[in-house]
Amino acid sequence: MGSQDRAAGIAVGWLFGIIGGLVLIGGLIIGGWQAGWWFSVHNAQRQGQINNIEAHNIRNGYSNQQTLREQISTQIGNVDTITTQIAASHDKGLISALTAQRAAIAATVCQDVSEVTGDPLPAQEAQWATANCQAGNVRPGSAYYQAGTP
């Protein structure tokens, strides 16, 4: 009987060893799967932060700033042109439409001015912005301000 007990003990030992190995392998697989999800989440968050930094750099980049400055110059010219058209017109409907259009363009200029960083605007544009803009909106009291609009 001793040799049978010994053989049974060896078989039980092997069985526990195999079961233990399978449990260990299963734990490693599940742990690795969970770690993969964890790394994926953190990589996505880090990529989102990188994208935010890149977007910030693009907004403040030379090309974007030059485009803003050109738009400001062009749109201030458009405001002046519309002001001349309003002064020359006697049609109340046209004057009303042009006034609304001028206010919308002035609001766009003020928004663009609020996004300019780095070098200051040229003197005339800076004066226009100081007289007509406040925190990215048309300043109340400006000739281009219309109540109820930004």
Question: 22 and 67 share a domain?
Answer: no
Let me know whether 2 and 43 are in one domain.
yes
72 and 99: one domain? yes
What confidence score (pLDDT) does residue 56 get? 58
53 lies in a domain? yes
Measured CA distances, 61 to 18, 69, 114, 121, 123 (Å): 62, 12, 15, 16, 22
Question: Where are the extended beta strands (E) located within 1-150?
Answer: 133-134, 137-138
Q: Is residue 148 part of a domain?
A: no
- Residue 109 has what pLDDT? 95
How many structural domains comprise the chain?
A: 2
d(C-alpha 98, C-alpha 6), whole Å: 104
Let me know whether 111 and 52 are in one domain.
no
In sequence order, which residues have a C-beta less than 8 Å from that of residue 144 and are 6 or more positions away? 79, 102, 103, 106, 132, 138
Residue 144 lies in a domain: no
Quote the domain boundaries for residue 40.
1-59
Name the stretches of the chain with pLDDT < 50: none
Query: Which tokens is 29 given?
Result: 């697989």
**pLDDT at res. 74:** 94
Tell me: do 32 and 68 sit in the same domain: no
pLDDT of residue 113: 93
Per the domain annotation, does 146 fall within a domain?
no
